[in-house]
Amino acid sequence: MTKILEDLLQDHRNLARLWDLLGRELNVFKEGGLPDYALVESILDYCINYPDLCHHPKENLIFEKIRERDPAAVGAIGDLKKEHDKLVALTWRFSTAVSNVIDDEQLPRDWFMDVANNFLSFSRNHMQMEEVLFFPAARKTLTDEDWKDLEETVENVEDPLFGKQKQEKYQGLYQEIMDWGGMSDGTKNTGSAP
């Protein structure tokens, strides 16, 4: 497997862990409790500043390479860039809703949960589609030369949360992940995820 695909799959494992953590906080809200809004904000900030700006552009480049090699192969995948654009919109919508709740705006609980669930379900379904259709199509369609070109083209930005040099603003989020049960790849497993 190529380094780009390995990195993208690792990003997916990391995002799945964040979405599980987000789901935990949403369950607290759903049950009438007070979720850790700072944690939720941190997760959404990460989603805005890493996947939307670094992860998805890599996938978009791969998608275009597949389209060049085999236009029929992209038919089952659909419009990947459009899905990424929708993810950006859903992320911002959810982030704005969280900010409004923090600012003490009275929002209907059902509406807030709908916004949150739309973000989570679309994100998870999108990621599953990529792993079932998109990544296999890339492995099957692209040549070694294509992968080499992609490696030279993509900007390698270190993950600010899961990389070696964690950004300070994500330290609390990273610690919560580790305290909650570690990484989905088994880096640390101190307990089971709810």
pLDDT in tens, the chain (194 residues): 799 999 999 999 999 999 999 999 999 999 999 999 999 999 999 999 999 889 999 999 999 999 999 999 898 899 999 999 999 999 999 999 999 988 877 888 899 999 999 999 999 999 999 999 999 999 999 999 999 999 999 888 899 999 998 899 999 999 999 888 755 444 443 333 33
Residue 180 CA to residue 190 CA, distance in Å, equals: 7
Structure confidence at residue 76 (pLDDT): 87
pLDDT given at position 186: 45
- Residue 49 neighbours by CB under 8 Å, 6+ apart: 160
Q: Length of the chain, please?
A: 194
Q: Is 120 helix (H, G, I), strand (E, B) or coil?
A: helix
Contact (CB, 8 A) for 173 and 19: no
Q: What is the pTM of this model?
A: 0.88
Q: In this structure, which topology does domain 3-180 adopt according to CATH? A: Four Helix Bundle (Hemerythrin (Met), subunit A) (1.20.120)
Q: What pLDDT, in 10s, does the model give residues 126-183?
A: 999 999 999 999 999 999 999 999 999 988 889 999 999 889 999 999 999 988 875 5
Query: What is the per-residue burial (b if ≥16 Cβ within 10 Å, else e) of 28-62?
Result: ebbeeeebeeebbebbbbbbebbbbebbbbbbeeb
